[in-house]
Structure 1
Amino acid sequence: MESRWEIKRYSDGCKDEWDDFVRDSRNGTFLFMRGYMDYHADRFADFSLMAYRDGRLHALLPAHCTATEFCSHRGLTYGGVVTDEKMTAALMLELFGEIFRYLRTYTSVGKWIYSPVPYIYARYPSEEDLYALYRFGARLSGRKVSTVIPSATAWGFSTLRRRKVKHAVREGLSISRDEDFSAFWKVLEGNLMERHQSRPVHTLEEIMLLHHRFPQQILLYRVCRAEGRTVVGCVLYVTERVVHVQYIGSTPEGRACGAVDLLFHYLIHEAYKDVPYFDMGTSVEEGGRVLNEGLIFQKEGFGGRAVVYDTYEMEV
């Protein structure tokens, strides 16, 4: 029997259709909008797929290809199937089968690397893909632990973190939301190089471009001394259900005076108390095989507990 599915590779002419679907989807976020995905098109060979059934668009799969692998887009934090309200468990099984057939017909890849959207981002339950992964023999190949606070039932700060907040208040620090990414980036780059011998994933120019494209979703907060000197800052990715800390950077002075604690107290309990989840980011290395216990201890002191960001592998 002829399949009722049609799999089509994304092209620039489909931008409006793609973006409209993301906006109306159950589990899409602004990271899947083409204005975000395409900013690093020179580094990733886009191979995103659009899935139609009986002529109607039912699902998107943000992805790219290498010579040997078909991957959930590695320029994104997550990138599983984005679905509409019509998607069911049975339809997802059909869809996975069609994607496998498409890959075998039009590519020479040997593996499908899949990173589902964590449940906290979904507006409605959307884990049909996790069942399909099981049915198609997927193997868990990576698991990153992120520390998440459910805002409505947050446990509150530990004694140590509360003491740090009081210290910061006595220091007379100010918190601002602004667009001085340059001032923060100097702190962030120094922080990452000193403590992790690494650099931010985004350049200053890239994060400013993305903020310009998504001014209500990519936001900068800074904690400053009276003279305006930045001691702590963070870049937030704000979606309907999750506030995600994309970058956090501090000077030694900022860490010593409790500025990090002051900032998170404000963000969690005041600025974003009505957003369901506050995601403080992952605390792992080597794809999840090493836990940074000092870092996650600090985050758990703010009341957060674990939500995992998974990666699966399937043979094509």
Structure 2
Amino acid sequence: MEYHSDRFQDHSLLVFKADELVAVLPANKVGTLLYSHQGLTYGGLLLGEALKLQDTAQVLKTILVFLSTINITHINIKLSPACYHIKASDEMSFLLHHLKAEKYRCDALSVIDLHEKLLFSKDRISGVKRGQRNGLVVREVQEFSAFWDHILLPNLKLKHQSKPAHTLKEIALLKERFPQQIRQFNVYKDNVVVAGTTIFETKKVAHSQYISGNLDKNTLGSLDFLHVHLITHIFKDKRYFDFGTSHENQGENINEGLLYWKEGFGARTVTMDFYSLPVAKYNNIDRIFI
């Protein structure tokens, strides 16, 4: 995460039991607040697979006790969405509820369960057919510049006066360090890039981090064509396909058109919750268990 060092004061934590690493909290510091790292899409407290409820409680207590010694007053923590869990594990939700943490934000991810029958809407199927008629081709590529410079950056500037969270240099660095997990798929018409998506891949999930098409994307059906191909061929053996959020205004609003498009592939809502907890609440953790 060092490429974010100019934007965030990193304060990530490692938790050990004896000499064994049992938990990691990617985090950054803002004054007397500690955040689940604000430069990461999901993040949250990462726990070893063997940890159970009481183990997780002790991990949380250890973190809070440590933070109390370095003048941190609150921890603002986001919970990893359930679809990213290797095993079913809502220990943190349970603990934060019983510690009366304040739930201050809830994001909505659009996620397809690929173990269920795929149900594409008429609009999405129509888009795929337009893509076929227009002779579109999907290719996985190893470099990002064509998509970044000619599709993604111009679109974000035109529609939102914004930039992607990652620069071209940063995404190339991530690809270099995680070549199997960071993947770029472009759509071509007559060998010209017309759309694409940047995929972040985990053991169970394929996540479209960036999705963008040129001004003809609706006429060409390029994004429908691309994502149906990814869902039904490239990532068909994953458990989930995650389109991410459709939020605007720091999660206060949903882009209705974008949500409609994602749900047309069969995506449904998975939440990501954000909690604020006073560090002093570590005193209450042991009282949960009798």
Deviation (angstroms), 1:64: 1.6
Give, in whole Å, the separation in 2 of the partners of 1:87 and 1:291. 36
Aligned counterparts of 1:255 and 1:312: Cα–Cα separation in 2: 39
In structure 1, distance between residues paired with 2:136 and 2:226: 10
Distance 2:19 2:144 in 1: 44
> 1:126 Cα shift?
2.4
Distance 2:236 2:50 in 1: 32
Please name the residue that 1:165 is paired with: 128
Shift, 1:133, TM fit: 1.0
Taking structure 1 as the reference length, the TM-score comes to 0.84
Deviation at 1:55, TM superposition (A): 4.0
Deviations 1:156-194 (A, max 9, x none): 210111111111101011111012411101210111112
Instruction: Determine if the alignment matches structure 1 residue 116 to structure 2 residue 79.
Output: yes
Return the match for 2:209 from 230, 235, 246: 246
Tell me what 2:32 maps to: 68
Partner in structure 1 of residue 176 of structure 2: 212
What is the letter of the counterpart of residue 66 of structure 2? Y
Deviations 1:29-70 (A, max 9, x none): xxxxxxxx2332332222111222344322121112121211
Q: Which has the higher contact order (CA 8 A, sep 6+)?
A: 2
Q: Which consecutive unaligned segments of at least 5 residues does structure 2 have?
A: 280-290
CA contact 2:107–2:272 (8 Å) conserved in 1: yes
1:143 match: 106
Q: Which residue of 1 aligns with 2:222?
A: 259
- Identify the residue that residue 160 of structure 2 maps to in structure 1: 196
* Correspondences of 1:1-316 after superposition (within 5 Å): 37-106=1-70, 108-186=71-149, 187-226=151-190, 228-316=191-279
Partners of 1:52 and 1:168 in 2: how far apart? 52
Give the aligned residue type for 2:119.
Answer: G
Misfit runs of 4+, over 4 Å: none
Aligned residues: 278
Greater alpha carbon shift after TM alignment, 230-239 vs 84-93: 84-93
- Secondary structure at the aligned position of 2:59 is classed as helix
Per-residue deviation, 1:119 = 1.3
Alignment-mate amino acid for residue 50 of structure 1: L
2:128/2:228 contact within 8 Å kept:
yes
Work out the CA distance in 1 between the residues paired with 2:230 and 2:77: 32
* Contact 1:142–1:287 under 8 Å retained in 2: no
- The normalised TM-score by structure 2 is 0.92
What is the CA-CA distance between 1:155 and the residue it aligns to? Answer: 3.1
Deviations along 1:114-153, one digit per CA (max 9) or x if unpaired, are 0111111111122211111112221111111111001121
Q: Distance in 2 between matches of 1:126 and 1:262?
A: 35
Distance in 1, Cα, partners of 2:173 & 2:14: 27
Q: Structure 1: which 5+ runs fail to align?
A: 1-36
Deviations 1:82-128 (A, max 9, x none): 1123312122222222222111112x222211011111111112221
Q: Tell me, in whole angstroms, the C-alpha distance in 2 between the residues paired with 1:211 and 1:56.
A: 29
Q: CA deviation at 1:276?
A: 0.4
Q: Would you say the 8 A contact 1:144–1:287 is kept in 2? A: no
Matched-pair identity in %:
38
Residues 130, 219 of structure 2: 8 Å contact kept: no
Secondary structure at the counterpart of residue 69 of structure 2: helix
For the structure 1 residues 86 and 284, does the alpha-carbon distance in structure 2 shift closer, same or farther, using more than 3 Å as the test?
same
Contact (CA 8 Å) 2:187, 2:196: kept in 1 or not?
Answer: yes
